[in-house]
Amino acid sequence: MVFGRHLNKYYLKYAWMLVLGIASLILVDFFQLLTPRIYNLVVNALTYGTVNIDGAEVPFTMDILLTKICAPMLIIIFVMLAGRFLWRVCFFGASIRVVTDMRSEMFDHCKDLSQQFYNVNKVGDLMSLFTNDLDTIEDCFGSGILMAADALCLGAMAVVKMVRMNPLLTLFSMLPMVFLFAISTVVGKSMRKKWDRRQAQFSKISDFSQESFSGIAVIKAFVREYLELAAFDRLNKDNENANVDFVKTSTLLRVFVTLFEESVIGVILGYGGYLVYVGTFNAGELIEFIGYFTSIVWPILAIAELVDMSSRGKASLGRISKLLDTPQDVVDAEGVEAPETIHGKIEFKDLTWRYPGANHDNLHNVSFKIEAGENIGIIGKTGSGKTTVCDLILRTYNVPDGTVFVDDIDINKIPIRTVREFAAYVPQDNFLFSDTIAENIAFASDSGDMALIENAARIAGVDDDINGFPLKYETVLGERGVTVSGGQKQRISIARAVMKDASILIMDDSVSAVDTDTERRILGELRELRKGKTTILIAHRVSTIEQMDKILYMDRGRVLGFGTHEELMETCPEFRKTVELQRLEDKTEQADSVHASAEQGGGENA
Ligand code: ADP
């Protein structure tokens, strides 16, 4: 059994099931403790030919066999069967429901955690919370309550019966229990630490596996399979050691429990045998006493198991609580008001900003104004802050008041959800879900209309590719969309954003994997489609964004120029230099390819 802030409310929520379970458990325990009395009758009947019924010694007859032994035994068996079924349904049913609720609560909490949380927490660690740790809580809740209740009810009732029969013999048989408790407490503490280590090793393994499978292409390309295998073996070995270490301690505890059980039976047989010898007990009574004692062996085992289970449960609940207590740091400020619509005007006013936990500013005095409906290209070297600017427009991180405005309203005064609802985003990694292409394209839109999906695919220039697949739009993409090429993935991501038809469209380096002709066609289609709506396109090549209404030129977190291509050519020397450099590169590439084909032609002629 385990308690904690995030779990206690479920004890209340499912109290009715627990109460019903405990009631049937008490009933079962009560009936179970009637059997030693029947053993007593049977043994005495066989030994002395008489049985003690309501204090009177009477001869053992067929009538007594049927009414005092067989009939009660049948009733006991029936009640125990029904009761056991009921408490199993109640305890295990409640634990499954609790874990289902907790899983939903965790997922709900996770979905609201900021991007920063996912930047610093590994997926493998999170996954082990949702699997291993929740399984442990399920065990603790169901089996834990059962063990605690059973240990208490069965243990107490059996001890009362034993004391009534012979207090001194009961005392002798209970003494080793004190040692057992002492040992369980000490060992339990050490087991909790070991369980923590075991979980940490499991997290490492699941994280490593997940990363290896995601990055399998890179591993193969760099022929790192054997090194990865060696690293995995090391982790696997560490995991094995942590498990063996845990199992050793828990086995030690079990050995002590068995030792306790055997030694107590030894005491009962020794002292009980003496009592039979001096005539205080008869044979049936000794058997009855042993019957009660064996009934409490399970509760005693349960206590030891409970100590072990609670240690694991506490550790798991601790980790889950840490997740549930992680503050949702990117949240709406008080008094935010959702505008009816967002037209797409965006303004940055002298924003200096750094990523949470970073030790230097990533953006310096960034200012620019995008009018609603404008097409904007953002260009600059890698790491110059282009993605950061787009992330801040989407409110992926917090920004200071008075620095970022949407439709002239401070972005902090608009609900985050509203900002994102009016925006569509094509991220750099073009993540696709393991679902059909149609579902992927319709992901952000309320409509599953095939005509709209096909139109979005046409605008993104991926319709021909999709129609070339045997299942066309019903093609199911592999995990992270690996069954399609990088360029196809990129265009499906564009189609997904196009389908949303949002006031603001942000495309982060979204045409880098397509050829120049397709790029031109996609951009032309987008220009037509998005007339009157804001479009922001991050690109590496000036030629991609040359035709845009304005270009934002960034360098090391600063805006060095903002204006039309012509304006920047005149006013921004760094931009001019980039353009000239790229033109020179293009010319060199063209000259190289002409040279190469001439050489190839010459070679063929010769
Ligand atoms: P660009 O899109 O122009 O290539 P980014 O906007 O991605 O550049 O990055 C700008 C700067 O911010 C870089 O120095 C980068 O290392 C840093 N950066 C990006 N993401 C994070 C992050 N999650 N945490 C800390 N620093 C980051």
- Three-class DSSP labels, 309-334: HHHHHHHHHHHHHHHHHCCCCCCCCC
| DSSP-assigned letters across all residues of 521-554 | HHHHHHHHHTTTSEEEEE-SSHHHHTTSSEEEEE
Note whether residue 522 is domain-resident. yes
Whether 318 and 351 map to the same domain: the answer is no
In angstroms, the CA 305 to CA 180 distance is: 12
Nearest alpha carbon to residue 349 among 367, 365, 333? 367
**Mean pLDDT over the full length of the chain:** 87
Residue 606 has pLDDT above 60, yes or no: no
In angstroms, the CA 283 to CA 290 distance is: 11
Helix, strand, coil shares of the chain, percent, nearest 5, are 65, 10, 20
Query: Per residue in 175-204, pLDDT tens?
Result: 777 777 777 777 777 887 888 888 888 888
The CATH number assigned to the domain holding 19 equals: 1.20.1560.10
Q: 594: Cβ–Cβ under 8 A, 6 or more apart, which residues?
A: none
Note whether residue 583 is domain-resident. no
Tokens 């304006």 correspond to 567
For 232, the token pair is 């995995």
Q: Does 380 contact ligand 1 (Cβ within 6 A)?
A: yes
Interstrand relation of 534-538 and 375-380 (parallel, antiparallel or unpaired): parallel
Note whether residue 338 is domain-resident. no
Q: Is 34 helix (H, G, I), strand (E, B) or coil?
A: coil
What pLDDT shows up at residue 540? 87
Cα of 354 from ligand 1 centre, angstroms: 9
In angstroms, the CA 183 to CA 304 distance is: 9
| DSSP-assigned letters across all residues of 82-135 | HHHHHHHHHHHHHHHHHHHHHHHHHHHHHHTS-HHHHHHS-HHHHHHIIIIIHH
Backbone angles phi and psi of 371, in degrees to 5: -75, 155
Whether 356 and 274 map to the same domain: the answer is no
Cα of 423 from ligand 1 centre, angstroms: 21
Whether 259 and 399 map to the same domain: the answer is no
Atom 24 in ligand 1: residue holding the nearest Cα? 355
Whether 429 and 350 map to the same domain: the answer is yes
Note whether residue 335 is domain-resident. no
Whether 435 and 568 map to the same domain: the answer is yes
Quote the percentage of the chain above a pLDDT of 70.
96
The CATH number assigned to the domain holding 461 equals: 3.40.50.300
Q: Does 119 contact ligand 1 (Cβ within 6 A)?
A: yes
Alpha-helical regions (H) of 412-541:
416-421, 437-441, 450-459, 463-468, 486-500, 516-529
Q: Which atom of ligand 1 is nearest to the CA of 538?
A: 2
Tokens 């990865």 correspond to 228
Q: Which atom of ligand 1 is nearest to the CA of 382?
A: 4
Q: Does 362 contact ligand 1 (Cβ within 6 A)?
A: yes
DSSP state of 474: G
Cα of 520 from ligand 1 centre, angstroms: 28
Q: Is 364 helix (H, G, I), strand (E, B) or coil?
A: strand
Cα of 389 from ligand 1 centre, angstroms: 10
Ligand 1: residue of 117, 362, 391, 425 to mutate (most ligand atoms within 8 A of CB) is 362
Cα of 347 from ligand 1 centre, angstroms: 20
Atom 16 in ligand 1: residue holding the nearest Cα? 383
Q: Is 476 helix (H, G, I), strand (E, B) or coil?
A: strand
Q: Give me the number of domains the chain comprises.
A: 2
In angstroms, the CA 428 to CA 512 distance is: 10
Query: Per residue in 212-259, pLDDT tens?
Result: 887 887 888 777 888 888 999 999 999 999 999 999 988 888 787 778
Whether 154 and 198 map to the same domain: the answer is yes
Whether 57 and 180 map to the same domain: the answer is yes
For 297, the token pair is 């062996």
What pLDDT shows up at residue 480? 53
Helices 145-165, 71-111: inter-axial angle, 10-degree rounding: 150
Q: Does 355 contact ligand 1 (Cβ within 6 A)?
A: yes
Query: Per residue in 385-444, pLDDT tens?
Result: 999 999 999 999 999 999 999 999 999 999 999 999 999 999 888 888 888 899 999 998
Cα of 348 from ligand 1 centre, angstroms: 18
Cα of 385 from ligand 1 centre, angstroms: 6
Cα of 383 from ligand 1 centre, angstroms: 5
What pLDDT shows up at residue 482? 54
Average pLDDT over residues 575-590: 81
Note whether residue 219 is domain-resident. yes
What pLDDT shows up at residue 47? 86
Whether 369 and 460 map to the same domain: the answer is yes
Cα of 414 from ligand 1 centre, angstroms: 25
Note whether residue 541 is domain-resident. yes
Comparison of pLDDT for 589 and 557, the residue scoring more:
557
Q: Which amino acid is at 340?
A: E
Whether 115 and 205 map to the same domain: the answer is yes
Whether 316 and 354 map to the same domain: the answer is no
Note whether residue 187 is domain-resident. yes
Whether 305 and 358 map to the same domain: the answer is no
Note whether residue 580 is domain-resident. no
Q: Does 606 contact ligand 1 (Cβ within 6 A)?
A: no
Q: Does 114 contact ligand 1 (Cβ within 6 A)?
A: no
Whether 313 and 243 map to the same domain: the answer is yes
Atom 11 in ligand 1: residue holding the nearest Cα? 383
Domain range enclosing 320: 5-324
